[in-house]
Structure 1
Amino acid sequence: MLFYPFTRLEILLFNSFTSHFFKSIFFQTIFIFVSIVTYGQEPVLQFEHLDMSDGFSDNRINQVMQDQHGIIWAATKFGVNRYDGDKVRLYPLANSITIYKLQVKGENNILVGTDRGLYNYHKEKDRFELYRPVDKKATDTIFNQKIFSISISNSQDFWIGGSTGKFYFIQEGKKNYSFNACRLNPSFPNADIISLSQDRFGKIWLGTSNGEVWSFDPRSKALHPLQEIENYYPISDILVDSQSQVWIASLGNGLYRYNLESKELSHYTAKAKRGESINNNIVLGLYEGNNERVFIGTDGGGINLYEPIKDKFTYFKQEDGEWGLSDNSILCFGRGMHNVIFAGTVHGGISYFKDRMSVYNVSPHKLAFETDKQGSRILEDSQANLWITAGRNGLRKYNPQTGEVDIFIDDKNNDKDLSGDIILSIIEDEKERIWIGSLREGLNIYDTKEQKFISFTGKENLSGIYAIEKGSDGHIWVGTTNGIVIYNEQLNIIKRLNTHTCEGLSNNRITSLYKDAKGEIWVGTENGLNILSAEGEWLESFYTSNKDNTSLSGNHILSIQEGPDLSVYVGTYGFGLNRYSRRDKKFERIGVQKGLYGKIVRGILIDHQKNIWLSTNLGLSRINNDTISNFGIQDGITPFRGGEASLSNSGRIYFAGNEGLSYFEPESLHQEISQPRVFFTGFKIVEEEDSREIEPSGFWDKQGSDILKLHADFSLFTVNFSSSNYFDLEDTEYFYKLEGLNNEWQALNKLNSITFSNLAPGAYNLHVTTKKGTEEPSIHKANIEFLVLPAFWQRREVQVISILLLGLSIFFLTNWRNRNIKKQRDDFKKIVAIRTREVEKEKDKAYKNELELLETERQNEQLKQKRLSDELKFKTEELTNSTLRTVHKNNLLVEIKEDFIAEGKKHIELKKFFDQIVGKIDDSLAIDTEWKQFYSIFKQVHPSFIPSLKKENPSLTDRELRLCALIKLNFPSQQIATLFGISLNSIKVARHRLRKKLKIEEGMSFEDFFKLKGL
């Protein structure tokens, strides 16, 4: 009976469901108990995922791998999926076909083992076809049967395992070899060869569907069973590692390890103690990673990792969140570029991770952490215990040697325990007392010798204690939201520093404190940086300035640390890092331009190798000789949300949060050194009538007539590309150079496509490369040659013929034109002579007419000037006569007025009557009717006088304006007095005041003043 691996797996799962269900309760109970009492520090893996949401045809991935260009190939029940970082393309093989194995052969060929034969990928046709060997004599029956396993011997040769004991050695261009295990050794069972692997000695290890393992020597044709193994479950995978050990995975009986040198066999099953063996007996896939580590894919137990140095197993299971394993059933592993390992799952698509584990972790469950994302601060005390703030859940004391955890939380009914569950700062003094600052509940001091909290004065009156630092003479500086409080060793407050008591302190909200080599205290606040003396006297403050790039980059200070060269590093909230030079007294701003990605720098520490480590909102950044390296989630480093990393006495770096306690040795954390490859993912050409998309693989390594051609009528040519490093796609920057247009590299930033238009006909070569951050561009470049075809009229031969025809046409046309021009020139000369004589006559006649016209215009102008002069003279005489008549009338009225006054004095009985008449005379003298008439005539003679005078001096009264008008007409003062009905002396006074008001210089007459002002 033929064997189907995945169908058999499903049957096994179904048959064992009931027993597993009851066993799971027991094992979960044991697991919880063991996790509490067992000290566990496990390596960290951070997973990223690809699934149907990215375009894959199914979430069940039977096989997965990455080729040398960077493309991911994954097999599902619907066919082979090709993922290029942008989109997925499905290659269906046949209806209901089952894919067992996927392998890369050489640079561009993909082999696919199925239940209907062996397929390979043809890049020229961009499709999968049944494998056809180069050797024409080879029979097709070899490649048409079931192919369960493939093992690449070298870039061209490979082994394949088939049904009923048949396996084959395929050589490109040479003779192929077929082997029948049943004939080689009659003891071989009539079973399928499910797994096949070659060791470094050339032996082939075969795993069968009935659970046996055999070794085959191609030279001697000897086939022998591995008698040490007793197993009846199908062998799902075989791995021969770099230490000459054969790892054997079974579908129900756990995992075997056979040492080829010592002949020792180890059997690992889920019944063993946690950490000493695998956690699930159904093993589906094996993979050897870096440092001889072996990854084991199980059905339900996630990924098991064996570390030979520790001889220990670690388990990675499905977790909620962005970076956990997507499914606990791992069907296969596939090698990727840049130390990436791909894992195909049953329900979760592809989970992939970096195989460079340097970070180890103590689980949050072990530390009784809750899910609060507030980051932790860590203190290593003098006894090597770790004090870890636990978000909103108090404080933990953790012993790394024993794994013991002491929990400190705030019991509101107990005044002698920890006050406040939100701990912001922590430090140990010289007497081994732990100072603990909380957000709202004040300051705590824990005596590690007496193992109790100490009561002291004023502890409850402090809040927002973000920073605590040891000062000189054993004093402790406590930074609060209301300044600094300094305690002595006797726990008495000896000084309070704030903006009221310390002149110069920039702000009362203290966010960081640091004692430098001179004993001075650097004080970071929410609004500036300060330096205080050891006694608390203000020395200097620093602020940011938009006009000075040598000032602080931001005023909200989070962290301070003195560097190895005594320069001071200052971390800010949102504005990166600053380095203060004591010699230059200037700040150097360190941000994205210099390679520091994180903008929130919560902590700064210096390791034993003098490297500077920054705890940022994106993870950890390391400064080594001005070279900045950034480490994030993919390296096992989580972003810092309020906490910071800490350095132990041994040189280990710790950090903690809701993911638990993590640590690593600084020298073990390295950035990826392999450079990513760029590959084209698609070409799109938009032409006048249509658009077409072209698969790039068809043009790899093509030259000459096979290069990509663009017709002359194309309007747009779009090129899409991607990077082989899928872990850093979001941070990848691209650059391009188009030879034939511009030989300089051009930046595309993070854009993974480029569009060309209006390219002149000719040959072009497009180069695309990539880089990450401030690193150098990758040495690997993607190249595509393409040719822009000329239009019909742009062809060289057409242009040559056109030029010749045009030249001949110009020659004949020029000769014809020259003859016509000569004939026309002679005719023109005759006509010009005749017309010249006629023009001379016309010019003489026109000149005489023009003289007569000018004489007539001159006479008319003289008449016009005379008429205007007469009119002006008339108006002036009329104005003068009118004014004189008014003067004469007023004189008469004045005389009559005086007569009535005299008569009134003689005839007392008629005095009242005479007074009435005198009053009417006065009213008549005051009436402005004559003045209106005067103004009307005056404006005709001098239209601009009154308006210009008002503009020159707006404060002039109507009476003063009238006086100016009369002076302009040269009226004597006596007549002016009569017109105004006042005495001569009053007129003299009025003229004097008017001179002052107009600011007429002494000795200058009114007439000269009016001329000077143009009035």
Structure 2
Amino acid sequence: MKTKLFFLITLYLIPFWNIGQNLSPPIQNYSSYEYNAASKNWGLTIDENGELYVANNNGLLHFNGENWTLYKLPNKTIIRSVAYVNGKIFTGSYEEFGFWQMNDYGSLVYTSLTHLIKDHEFTNEEFWQIIQLNDAIIFRSFSTVYIYKNNEISVLDAPFVVTTIAKYKNQIIVAGEQRRLYWIKDNTLTPLESQEILEGKTIVDMVPFGDSLIIGTKLSGCFLLTDGKVALLDDTINNELKEHQLNKVLALDSNTIAFGTIKNGVYTYNIKWNTFQNLNKALGLQNNTVLAMLQYKEQLWLGLDNGIDKIQLNNPITYYTDHTGVLGTVYDLVDYNNELYLGSNTGIYYFRDNKLQFVPGSQGHVWDLEVIDGDLFCGHNTGTFILKDGTLNKVSDISGGYQLVKVPETESSYIQGTYTGLANFKKGKNGKWISSRVTGIDFPVKQLCFENANTVWAAHPYKGLFKIKMNDEHTKVLEFIEIKTGAIPNTYNIKLYNIKNQIILSSEGNWYKYDPISDVISEFEEFKDYKDMNLVNYNATRYWFFDNDNQKKIIHTDLGENQFTLDDAQLRKRLAIETETIVSYNDSIYYFTLTDGFGKLNLNRFENELKNVDLPTPRVSSFIDGNETHQLKEQEYKVPFNTSKTIRIEVAAGSFNKYTYYYELNGTIAQSSYLDHGAIILQNLPFGEYTLKIHTVSIGNELSEPKIIKFKILRPWYFSNWSLLGYFFIGIASILLVRWYNKQKLAKKHHILKVQMQREQEERLAQIEKEKLEKEIKRKQTELARTTMSVAKKNELIIELKDLIALNQEAFTNKQRFKSLSKKLDSSMNEDQDWKHFEVSFKELHEDFFENLLKKYPKLTPKDLRLCAYLKMNHTTKEIAPLMGISVRGVEIHRYRLRKKLNIDSSQNLSNYLIKFK
């Protein structure tokens, strides 16, 4: 996989304006609103980690590169001076001085030293200066010098007002209001010789400068003490210092001195070349009154009467900014005859002797500046002009001169996009340019690219993309070919480029190329990593892309392994979106057009800085879980589970830069992320041991040595050892209980199954018994019916025999035999005996029939009951008659009477009633 090197530079940019000055470095403003303290800042110091400390009217300000923190003195007085020495921050205030140290929680704690002063009383003293000399710390008020050494304080009273002190040649030199300089020797003041030149001058500051001492006066300029002799600096700088009241002096390097003034900001003076540059409020400072200065690496910090500023010295990017609005938004710039020309929405400007000049008659919107054949073309809102000898000459009346593109295979023929179509430009033999409108096209063309000498591609922002064929003279459109959507999702707002003689298109963030041989548009693989970007400058080896997303980065690449990104919030705010332009002056110098000026990049210097990155390891400034702040010296932070829902870890890497961070968390769970701030928030981590590695990310996307933090989220109470032991016993008891319960449940289930089986067995037996009884009843019913019918037939036969014998009585000669025969027949038809047998069998089948019938109808006679029984057996009248030994008529009469007794209506069937009766 192709490896890319991503370079990220973070620049703090504040605009500046001064028509008579060079380009200025970036300035970062820190307002009192941002650092949340008083506006006045009297002193600045920085520790070995690059963390800033400021003497402020409200107290001591601490800036670790990420956060500002204010610490107040116990008496809440103004801090006038500050100095960092060997891990301690010494401060001076009203009748108070001492030092601050960081405690185990990352906070500063104050220790006063004034109790060490013996036999001396303060006289309304404020301490304005603190200097280290070897192992001693010197505090200066306007009347006294205090020397702190070996935990003792010695006092040197001066017979004059002490305006400033300095360390020079490993001694302390003192300046007094009597306009003289003194050495401190053996706790006494010894005057220097040859100081007549300083007589009558108020010395406000002194700093060593090589082997010399710079002496700054309030209104008389600056002097240089060398080998015991005092000389005045050149008037080039001194005239400025006299006018604007010098206040602070700082040596930046062996040739450069910074002067802070009361009325006009800061001056940087090169003593070798006798040149200076001024930065003031008009150029980006928050205030013109400089109260303190501090150099740290390539930065100049200013403590101002209103705010704190950081100036990026020797920065590879410098800026020219129009605060007045006169220049406006710059759309193009070009170097012409060794002068820089700017085209803006207000006209054409150029620099001459570092002064911005306006080209008369150029007022209006300027879209394009091109140098062609030694002539400067200006595409203007009102037409196209050629600028020569400071004068504009119009060569085209067609309004809105956009891009001028040379026609391939011609010497001096150009096509220009305008508000209303295309224009043709040709240089005649006499050296004069002539222009004409290309007929046959009437829509605005801002971008165009040639496919060949007679075919040009043009994009309309709303109507789409067109391929236009022209005649050989390029004066007339012969054919319009509209490019339909196909490989391109959308033909609106397309951007066109001619890269290495190939038509390249950008649509909706994607890149495409056109193949004229196959007449096919396909994806452009070389730009696949630059989706959603505009190409704003390119040549054969370098490409500049502008990121269209919310981050709006500028990316420089060779399409290989070398790539870097310019990423800055202030720069993003100032770029002219959709018209952003990068102009190459040469292989190293590039210009950026801005909404209020322009920027200049020295690419060689920038790339050299990338090779010398000093990347600090982050430091932990706080470790907070819930509301508890931990000590920073802990080997392993222990976090209770109930406060571990949110863990906040703050880190910083010093005030030199606004760093990006990368962290890796390993443990019960793992996670990693890049951060543009120093606050790492970990949420809802499960308990367990964790290792957190935090890196500072360089401008080349390289990682610093990690800061390793180990912490352990303790188990919650319900996972403590005692809880786990309790869970173990509860588990054992639960297992036993479950086993007992299952055993009981199984026994119960077995019992239920047994009862169910018994019940089912009983039901089966009962069913069998029932079926058996039903069969028995059915058998008995059949048998009873059969027996009854047999008796009935027998009786019927006997009756017939009796009737037959009675009819043939005369045939019997022996009367006695006739009677005997009649008696035998009568005895054979024994109704009572037959009834008893019938009754026994009937009661077996219908056990309670007679009892229930008598209960309901108590007036029934035995004979009625017999008839009821025969009727229940569903016998007919004819069948009942022989059973009862009466005639059919007798049975009918009996039935009639029975119906009366039972109170049954004639419409109801008597037999059915008795059959249903239980």
How would you bin the TM-score normalised by the shorter chain?
0.5 to 0.7
Q: Which residue of 1 aligns with 2:762?
A: 841
Residue among 7, 15, 22 paired with 1:42? 22
Seen in structure 2, the aligned counterparts of structure 1 residues 554 and 76 have a Cα distance that, compared at 3 Å, is farther
**Separation in structure 2 between the aligned mates of residue 542 and residue 93 of structure 1, nearest angstrom:** 76
Question: Post-superposition shift, 1:249?
Answer: 3.2
Quick one: which amino acid aligns to residue 340 of structure 2? L
**Contact kept? 2:344, 2:367, Cα under 8 Å:** no
TM-score, structure 1 as length reference: 0.59
| C-alpha distance after superposition, 1:469-514 (max 9, x if no partner) | 33322112211133322222134457727668xxxxxxx4322356
Is 1:196 paired with 2:129? Answer: no
Q: SS of 1:466's equivalent?
A: coil
**Separation in structure 2 between the aligned mates of residue 398 and residue 265 of structure 1, nearest angstrom:** 40
Q: SS of 1:356's equivalent?
A: coil
**Separation in structure 2 between the aligned mates of residue 623 and residue 297 of structure 1, nearest angstrom:** 41
Question: Post-superposition shift, 1:267?
Answer: 3.0
**Separation in structure 1 between the aligned mates of residue 77 and residue 465 of structure 2, nearest angstrom:** 69
Seen in structure 2, the aligned counterparts of structure 1 residues 533 and 664 have a Cα distance that, compared at 3 Å, is farther
**Separation in structure 1 between the aligned mates of residue 709 and residue 268 of structure 2, nearest angstrom:** 42
**Separation in structure 2 between the aligned mates of residue 71 and residue 208 of structure 1, nearest angstrom:** 33
**Contact kept? 1:275, 1:314, Cα under 8 Å:** no
**Separation in structure 1 between the aligned mates of residue 771 and residue 660 of structure 2, nearest angstrom:** 83
Farther off after superposition, 573-582 or 646-655: 573-582
Q: Which residue of 2 aligns with 1:587?
A: 524
Report matched runs for 1:240-319 at 5 Å: 240-241=208-209, 243-258=210-225, 265-268=230-233, 272-273=235-236, 277-278=240-241, 280=243, 282-289=245-252, 293-308=256-271, 310-319=273-282
Is 1:325 paired with 2:278? Answer: no
**Contact kept? 1:362, 1:662, Cα under 8 Å:** yes
Q: Which residue of 1 aligns with 2:310?
A: 352
Q: Which residue of 2 aligns with 1:437?
A: 379
Q: Which residue of 2 aligns with 1:478?
A: 416
**Separation in structure 2 between the aligned mates of residue 735 and residue 852 of structure 1, nearest angstrom:** 96
Quick one: which amino acid aligns to residue 446 of structure 2? T
Q: Which residue of 2 aligns with 1:117?
A: 97
Report matched runs for 1:890-929 at 5 Å: none
**Contact kept? 1:121, 1:128, Cα under 8 Å:** yes
Q: SS of 2:330's equivalent?
A: coil
Quick one: which amino acid aligns to residue 194 of structure 1? T
Q: Which residue of 2 aligns with 1:464?
A: 400
Quick one: which amino acid aligns to residue 630 of structure 1? L
Q: SS of 1:840's equivalent?
A: helix
Is 1:74 paired with 2:74? Answer: no
**Separation in structure 1 between the aligned mates of residue 278 and residue 575 of structure 2, nearest angstrom:** 23
**Contact kept? 2:221, 2:238, Cα under 8 Å:** no
Q: Which residue of 1 aligns with 2:557?
A: 623
**Separation in structure 2 between the aligned mates of residue 659 and residue 807 of structure 1, nearest angstrom:** 76
Of structures 1 and 2, the larger Rg is shown by: 2
Question: Post-superposition shift, 1:754?
Answer: 1.3
| C-alpha distance after superposition, 1:88-127 (max 9, x if no partner) | 5432214363423222334x54222334122222423734
Seen in structure 2, the aligned counterparts of structure 1 residues 513 and 95 have a Cα distance that, compared at 3 Å, is same
**Separation in structure 1 between the aligned mates of residue 238 and residue 772 of structure 2, nearest angstrom:** 126
Question: Post-superposition shift, 1:60?
Answer: 1.0
**Separation in structure 1 between the aligned mates of residue 650 and residue 202 of structure 2, nearest angstrom:** 43
TM-score, structure 2 as length reference: 0.65
Q: SS of 1:284's equivalent?
A: strand
Quick one: which amino acid aligns to residue 683 of structure 2? F
| C-alpha distance after superposition, 1:110-169 (max 9, x if no partner) | 222334122222423734322579xx9x87899999654334568xx5532345564546
Quick one: which amino acid aligns to residue 316 of structure 1? L
| C-alpha distance after superposition, 1:956-976 (max 9, x if no partner) | xxxxxxxxxxxxxxxxxxxxx
Q: Which residue of 2 aligns with 1:160?
A: 138
| C-alpha distance after superposition, 1:280-331 (max 9, x if no partner) | 4533333444785433221111111123564311111113xxx821100011
**Separation in structure 1 between the aligned mates of residue 440 and residue 593 of structure 2, nearest angstrom:** 32
**Contact kept? 1:165, 1:193, Cα under 8 Å:** no
Residue among 119, 129, 146 paired with 2:110? 129
Gaps of 5+ in 2: 1-16, 775-918
Q: SS of 2:643's equivalent?
A: coil
Quick one: which amino acid aligns to residue 537 of structure 2? I
Q: SS of 2:368's equivalent?
A: strand
**Separation in structure 2 between the aligned mates of residue 521 and residue 85 of structure 1, nearest angstrom:** 54
Is 1:341 paired with 2:300? Answer: yes
Question: Post-superposition shift, 1:61?
Answer: 1.3
Seen in structure 2, the aligned counterparts of structure 1 residues 571 and 426 have a Cα distance that, compared at 3 Å, is farther
Q: SS of 2:80's equivalent?
A: strand
Quick one: which amino acid aligns to residue 196 of structure 1? A
Question: Post-superposition shift, 1:266?
Answer: 4.8
Is 1:384 paired with 2:343? Answer: no
**Contact kept? 2:622, 2:651, Cα under 8 Å:** no
Residue among 309, 330, 341 paired with 1:375? 330
**Contact kept? 1:152, 1:159, Cα under 8 Å:** yes
Seen in structure 2, the aligned counterparts of structure 1 residues 475 and 701 have a Cα distance that, compared at 3 Å, is same
Is 1:745 paired with 2:672? Answer: yes
Q: Which residue of 1 aligns with 2:719?
A: 794
Q: Which residue of 1 aligns with 2:370?
A: 427
Q: Which residue of 2 aligns with 1:408?
A: 359
Report matched runs for 1:485-504 at 5 Å: 485-490=423-428, 491-493=433-435, 496=438
**Contact kept? 1:166, 1:193, Cα under 8 Å:** no
**Contact kept? 1:557, 1:570, Cα under 8 Å:** no
Question: Post-superposition shift, 1:719?
Answer: 0.8
**Contact kept? 2:212, 2:225, Cα under 8 Å:** yes
| C-alpha distance after superposition, 1:384-439 (max 9, x if no partner) | 343332432x323544xx558764343xxxxxxx5x62221232333x43332212
Quick one: which amino acid aligns to residue 90 of structure 2? L
Q: SS of 1:713's equivalent?
A: helix
Seen in structure 2, the aligned counterparts of structure 1 residues 304 and 143 have a Cα distance that, compared at 3 Å, is farther
Is 1:91 paired with 2:28? Answer: no
Gaps of 5+ in 1: 1-31, 183-187, 411-417, 501-507, 687-691, 854-1015
Q: SS of 2:284's equivalent?
A: coil
Higher RCO (CA < 8 A, seq sep 6+) = 2
Q: Which residue of 1 aligns with 2:198?
A: 230
Report matched runs for 1:815-854 at 5 Å: 836=757, 838-843=759-764, 845=766
Seen in structure 2, the aligned counterparts of structure 1 residues 288 and 523 have a Cα distance that, compared at 3 Å, is farther
**Separation in structure 1 between the aligned mates of residue 745 and residue 435 of structure 2, nearest angstrom:** 119
Q: Which residue of 1 aligns with 2:891?
A: none
Seen in structure 2, the aligned counterparts of structure 1 residues 747 and 488 have a Cα distance that, compared at 3 Å, is closer
Q: SS of 1:62's equivalent?
A: strand
Q: SS of 2:213's equivalent?
A: strand
Q: Which residue of 2 aligns with 1:18?
A: none
When you count strand as a share of all residues, which structure comes out higher? 2
Report matched runs for 1:544-623 at 5 Å: 556=493, 560=497, 562=499, 566=500, 575=509, 586-588=523-525, 603-606=536-539, 611-613=542-544, 621-623=555-557
Q: SS of 1:44's equivalent?
A: coil
Seen in structure 2, the aligned counterparts of structure 1 residues 311 and 464 have a Cα distance that, compared at 3 Å, is same
**Separation in structure 1 between the aligned mates of residue 36 and residue 763 of structure 2, nearest angstrom:** 97
| C-alpha distance after superposition, 1:348-393 (max 9, x if no partner) | 211223223345667869xxx8535321422333x3343332432x
Q: Which residue of 1 aligns with 2:690?
A: 764
Seen in structure 2, the aligned counterparts of structure 1 residues 306 and 124 have a Cα distance that, compared at 3 Å, is same
Work out the percentage of aligned pairs sharing the same amino acid: 13
Seen in structure 2, the aligned counterparts of structure 1 residues 775 and 429 have a Cα distance that, compared at 3 Å, is closer
Question: Post-superposition shift, 1:674?
Answer: 3.8
Q: Note the aligned Cα RMSD (angstroms).
A: 5.4
**Contact kept? 1:49, 1:349, Cα under 8 Å:** yes
